Structure 1
């Protein structure tokens, strides 16, 4: 018996010793060798590119680190960065390589899929080369959390994803090439019933369309807490079925324009706190009354939904709101004072609506407010004093309104970091606090009426400073050179005095964008032989200054890609320091007196603007070593030679402006990729190049004032994007065929074929199909111009279309053409027959010129429908016979106080639909307009109607009512029978 007892004791001791040894081994070598080998092999499939990851993902992952570099053979994988092991079994159950700077592919045979015990996997914010999302992810059957966001996966999401039935969190967001199939999506929702978080932002769900109510038909788990489908293009209806899920806390559907929100009633108790329904669709363009029941909301974003009318008071029920965004809608009326009852508000966004009136003085009740966005409205008068008493305010945007008056001398801001008030009527001096707040990082007071001197700037945290287009004066502020955190600096004035030493800007080593204009003396040359380096400068714009020492300057710009030296009286050759900029992509030296580029090393140059200079080189082979040029503007020079053949032979040229030079010869017929082509005012001859019809993206074609001899180019009619067609002043001839097709020049808004030899009837078929001229642009919208992108990148270069138009016998140069500025000029040809009624349907027309032809018959009554017309020219001087008292523009007869004569008798009225009396009255108005226009152009130099098109926003608004009334009166006179 004693022996048995001894044997039992020995066995217990052995077991105890074995277990102690086993757990000691586990504590020092937890990782299984197979899993360690799998991880090490997985590591070999990638490179670690820190700079690449910072460039692409710096905004979402500020701290990137190659975690895999800590993985070494012979060490315990459970101690490796990003690896988590089970405390007992030693299996790898967690892998977090987010922000791991990985670049490579995850193939189906990857050893990653050997880690079958994984419960959490996070590979977010790496770059997997647009490789397919492998179906092997389904092997992780124990997975509860999967995050593959920002990974650049590609293709269809495999249906095997539904095998992950234990998933609680799924994040595949920001893989914009990942696509869901409806069957895969439905199967996943049916199997993964434990899902609490679904984040699929920016994946492609456009194929999911479970009509009529796809969202309400989904079998969502009652445990769902977060559903985020931003920008997925999923379609269907959002109903109360979703909003009333008992545990739903966060719902994001931003950018789902085809989601219709249909929630007339919400008879449920909901825990919803975060709701983003921006850029969706709401019936009736109104916020549903039922939203007043969402009383637990802290975050509400309804921007970009086209809501109109007044902002509804139902929002005052949402007493827990901290974030409210109603921007980019069409709300009207005044600032809603009831919003001040939302005492917890931290963010309030009302930008880009049509709100007006004075902003009420109610901000003393919004003491928690940190960010206020009121830009792009019609707010007027002064900003309220209570706004400047908000101690927590960090961001204030109130740009592009009509706010006036000075800013206060004192404010209570303690944490203000962003102040943007550009585009208002603010005046007085810039207060000292605006230039001395210690927390201020972003300051934009441009496009106002601030005057006086700039005091010393001591906001040393400033990163962005824009004081352009004010009435500032005095010396250039030298305290600028102590703002070492500046990345963007824009300063312009017409009254800077003293000498500005440009090399001093090299002290600002963080500076990336520099815009300076209006300096009385901007000295580039250094007083010493030191060569200054502008390490991070990417964009340099020095405009309308008196630059000295530019040819001797020796600065270095290793990263500069945009250089503009506009209107600086620069002389002679382009200096060597510009020639040496290998990184340069955009170069503009326009409006100077440059005479030669010499042998410029084009390198990466994509856009070149040498317009308005004195260059007289032979252009024939000027660009033949330019590989990347996409935009060239050499207009208004003295270039000679023939059209460079190399510009069309395999060239990347998209925009080409060679107008007003001395070029000659026949154009090549091999055009391919052009978007704009302006050859106006040269001596080109021969036939129009038919290869232009291959330029499917062509928007602007101006071949005016040359010697082309051809018939009308009917083969251009199917260019669907063509907006400007100018063929004036050539030797074009023949009839314009009245083609019976419907898609003729659908986008055309400028049609000028004047001063040619066209004959036959007016081109009725073309006129009938000018669809873009039938669309009247909203006169309330801010003025915009026809422009094209030179290239698509982070800093878009825009090309402004230009043209010469004859309006009431006055030739006017438009350096920018306003959108919707529709013109038809068929004058000085040999057209005959009657004026067709179809002109009356072109309601966007601003100018119509049919003069100096052989037209007969009645003036169509339909012209009275052209309520936007501002210039109508149908006749020549002989149409004024019998009215000897009329003189001045547009007539060639000068005014010498000739007494007025009687109008012709009523017997002559039968010849015209209007009758002579109203026609004479109309042309008397035309005479007055012509005289006024001439007087304004040559005396005041600011004619009122040009101010309407090119003036500032305030002038447009004041003149809009007068212009409309004058226009109506003129046409009432013209259409009287």
Structure 2
């Protein structure tokens, strides 16, 4: 009996194994893709070119490169990258071509729309060259997920698309440029809708209250009439709502009171001018609350501190006031992101023992009236950004700071405090991923701290540092207004990755080192000295300017200056460090300040040094140049007629040199010229007449005994005789072509006499990467996109 049972069970087992094997074989046979759909996919592939610049994601790659013809290895389209097939029918039901380097136009005739069984379509992060959204998408009647974000689509949402009632729709950064279509209300089963930065405007139709199944809604980056958003109160299933940068204010806030299922609420960068409502405490499921960049005033309601599920709290940049114990915020144990900077309140720190603190990734406590380094930072090992700027922290930087979050820290800002030095001798900090270290505007003394090798931006200006500049600094030197002395050090010469050198207002002297020619990534040079005794000598550094390739303008639309590539929370994003360039020019004793300057060169100041030799003729390349000051040097030879090609020039100062010959007639072509000075040279001949030259007085030409004609009293010809027709000035000698570049600005003058000063106002206000970009910077988003579910 036992043997019979064993045989029976064995047969059953064999039958089950065989059945499973046959099922798998049949399923595999059925799953093999259909010829018509393979052909449609290959024609889709051939309709685009692959261009790496078409996708921003750092993990982008050309998915369609793996697509092969039938008969070749990999010819089954169901196995192709980005293609998903139905296991039973073999039909293509999913297509994920996000971040695939696709470039070209697409319309309703594309073979894509022959894939009638598609349920999911993701074309995000490509460049479809401003194509209109194809109306043929509406023919894909089974479609439930559509993602066209960040792909260069433009135009209104086709009516046909808005008939797909079960759609999950992401049109982030699609340039719709219209009012909200009424037919959007037809998507009655819609659960997810993202219309971020679509340039929508006007009033919202109240019929959108019919979208009662919505759980996710993002309208960020559009400007609506805020009085037309009251219908949001009816979307009671919402768990995520983003109204960032939508011009919202007033009563719209109270339309959200009953959305009790919200876990994510972003109201940042709007115009709310009121107290933070206490009813936020009723949204007990909130994990993210972003209120930054508004005008909320008064105290922080106690109900906020009852939201125990908060992971991110952003109160940045409001008018909140009061005095709070820092521990009150630290009692929110799940917090990862806390942004309290730029309000009007004070934070009190106390020593707390035997308490578990949140483990932060991003912490901004700038302008919070802190008087010391908070003790809880000692326990933090995952911080990526820490901003303690503009507080009242006195004394020495503790040793433990240099090991804070050694594996994760990207940005540390301790600027604008009252720090006097370091409590122990400086060693190279332990940070392995640090990109930005800002110690500016303190009272630091002693030698220059050596940053870690990973550093991209290093700011120590406006301190009392002295001594040599270490060779450990090789990406950026912004060390102005200290007491560094001696020649420009060889440490700088070797730094061929230097992007910016600002050593102004120190006590350096000598020549510009020859080996700075190796710095072909250099974008800005400022060597303006305090005193004439520290002036630079030698010829203008023509070879340097030819080699510094980063200063050449090739495509202004693609230039990026002073950017740092960092990562927050696992999402790769370019973190642009935003500089605001302003310039103060002193002309004839009058100081003029220009608040903004273009990204390409508008000013060169090499004044008040000891440069000699000729003025290179190829300065004419700088067509955008507005200010040129070479005064108070030892320059000789003729004034290049090619200066007349600088059609945007407003200020030209060549005074107090040893220039000779005639003033070129070509300079009359400078119709924007407001200030002109060639005084105290060795010029001869007639002063050009006409246009702007009729506005310049004697002081522009004095000290040249050989000059004649208006406005000087010395006449060029005996009375009754006319001058001979003047010919164009002789061709320049062949000096080195030294200005074939696109500088933002060059400063090499010192601070006396006729002075031009460049003020680099660094506007870095660190915060969560999204808000940093929204407030102060330019974002080039690099997004990881997984396969569609």
TM interval, short-chain normalised: 0.5 to 0.7
How big is the shift at 1:303? Answer: 1.2
**1:630: how far off?**
6.4
1:333 aligns with 2:319: no
Indicate the residue corresponding to 1:154 in structure 2: 129
Corresponding residue pairs, total: 632
Structure (1 or 2) with the larger CA radius of gyration = 1
Of 129, 150, 166, which aligns to 2:103?
Answer: 129
Structure 2 gaps of 5+ residues are 1-17, 553-580, 584-599, 681-686, 703-710, 713-738, 762-789
Match of 1:674 in 2: 648
Structure 2 CA distance, aligned partners of 1:388 and 1:47? Answer: 61
Match of 2:468 in 1: 522
The reply on whether 1:425 has 2:398 as its aligned counterpart is no
**1:56 alignment partner, SS class:** coil
Residue of structure 1 in register with 2:73 after alignment = 74
1:617-636 correspondence runs (5 A): 631-636=603-608
Q: Distance in 2 between matches of 1:804 and 1:365?
A: 52
CA 1:728–1:69 in 2, change beyond 3 Å: closer, same or farther? Answer: farther
Deviation at 1:715, TM superposition (A): 12
Q: State the 1:420 CA deviation.
A: 1.0
Tell me the residue number matched to 1:575: 513
CA contact 1:606–1:629 (8 Å) conserved in 2: no
Which residue of 647, 651, 669 corresponds with 2:622?
651
**Alignment match of 2:537 (pick from 595, 612, 620):** 595
3-state SS in 2 of match to 1:251: strand
- Match 1:342 to one of 296, 300, 307: 307
Which of 127, 141, 160 aligns to 2:116? It is 141
| Residue 390 to residue 64, structure 1, CA distance change in 2 (3 Å) | farther
- Aligned runs of 1:54-453 on 2, under 5 Å? 56-58=56-58, 61=59, 68-69=65-66, 73-75=72-74, 77=76, 78-89=78-89, 91=90, 93=91, 118-132=92-106, 135-136=109-110, 137-155=112-130, 156-175=132-151, 177-181=152-156, 185-190=158-163, 192-195=164-167, 197-206=168-177, 208-209=178-179, 214=180, 218-238=184-204, 241-242=207-208, 245-258=211-224, 260-264=226-230, 268=234, 270-282=236-248, 285=250, 287-359=252-324, 362-363=328-329, 365-380=331-346, 382-383=348-349, 391-395=357-361, 397-409=363-375, 413-417=379-383, 418-431=385-398, 433-438=400-405, 441=409, 442-453=411-422
After TM superposition, give the deviation of residue 366 of structure 1 in Å.
2.5
- Cα distance in 1 for residues equivalent to 2:203 and 2:433: 49
Could you say if the C-alpha distance between residues 431 and 39 of structure 1 is closer, same or farther in structure 2, counting changes exceeding 3 Å? Answer: same
CA distance in 1, matches of 2:619, 2:366: 42
Q: Using CA pairs below 8 Å that are at least 6 residues apart, which structure has the higher relative contact order?
A: 2
Corresponding residue SS for 2:516: helix
Instruction: Normalising by structure 2, report the TM-score.
Output: 0.67
Using the TM superposition, give the Cα deviation of residue 286 of structure 1 relative to its aligned residue in structure 2, in angstroms: 5.1
Give the secondary structure class of the aligned counterpart of 1:352: coil
Superposed CA offset, 1:423-462 (max 9, x none): 111224434554444465143222211334245xxxxxxx
Matched position secondary structure for 1:450: strand
Question: Which residue matches 1:620?
Answer: none
SS of corresponding position for 2:138? helix
- The structure-2 alpha-carbon separation of the partners of 1:46 and 1:252, relative to structure 1 and needing over 3 Å to count, comes to closer
RMSD of aligned residue pairs (Cα, Å): 5.0
Shift in Å at residue 296 of structure 1? 1.5
Shift of 1:521: 2.4
Q: Structure 1 residue 170: deviation in Å?
A: 1.1
Cα gap change, 1:180 to 1:159, in 2 (>3 Å): same
Q: Structure 1 residues 542, 714: CA separation in 2 closer, same or farther (over 3 Å shift)?
A: closer
Q: Is the 8 A contact 2:617 2:643 kept in 1?
A: no
For the 8 Å contact 2:488–2:512, the answer to whether it is kept is: no
1:658-710: per-residue Cα shift (whole Å, max 9, x none)? 154357869767455637645386689799956455x7xx9xx6547969998
* TM-aligned CA distance change 1:53 to 1:660, over 3 Å: closer
Q: How does 1:943-954 map onto structure 2 within 5 Å? A: none
Q: Residues 581-624 of structure 1, C-alpha deviation per residue, up to 9 Å, x if partnerless?
A: 33333333332532125552413446599x9xxxxxxxxxxxxx
Q: Does 1:513 align with 2:484?
A: no
Q: Rate the CA distance shift 1:604–1:41 in 2: closer, same or farther, 3 A.
A: farther
The structural deviation recorded for 1:291 is 1.7
1:254 deviation in Å? 0.8
SS across alignment from 1:405? coil
Q: Give the Å deviation of 1:271.
A: 0.1
2: distance between equivalents of 1:814 and 1:631? 9
Offset, 1:123? 0.8
Q: Distance in 2 between matches of 1:123 and 1:305?
A: 35
Once the two structures are TM-superposed, the CA of residue 308 in structure 1 deviates from its matched residue by 1.1
Q: 1:235 to 1:715 in 2, by over 3 A?
A: farther
Any conservation in 1 of the 2:397–2:419 contact (CA below 8 Å)?
Answer: yes
Partners of 2:209 and 2:235 within 8 A in 1: no
Whether the 8 Å contact between 2:603 and 2:744 is mirrored in structure 1 is no
Residue 110 of structure 1 corresponds to: none
Instruction: Please tell me whether the aligned partners of residues 488 and 512 of structure 1 are also in contact (alpha carbons under 8 angstroms).
Output: yes
Deviation of 1:406 after TM superposition, in Å, equals: 1.7
**Once the 2 structures are TM-superposed, how far is the Cα of residue 579 of structure 1 from its aligned partner?**
1.7
What residue is the counterpart of 1:30 in the other structure? Answer: 32
Tell me the equivalent position of 2:434. Answer: 486
Contact 1:516–1:541 (CA under 8 A) maintained in structure 2:
yes
Residues 494-522 of structure 1, C-alpha deviations (whole Å, 9 max, x = no match): 6543697x7xx7xx553333445654322
Q: What's the offset of the Cα at 1:491? A: 4.9
Asked if structure 2 preserves the Cα contact closer than 8 Å seen for 1:375 and 1:400, the reply is yes
- TM score, norm. by length of structure 1: 0.55
SS in structure 2 at match of 1:254 = coil
Q: CA deviation at 1:53?
A: 7.1
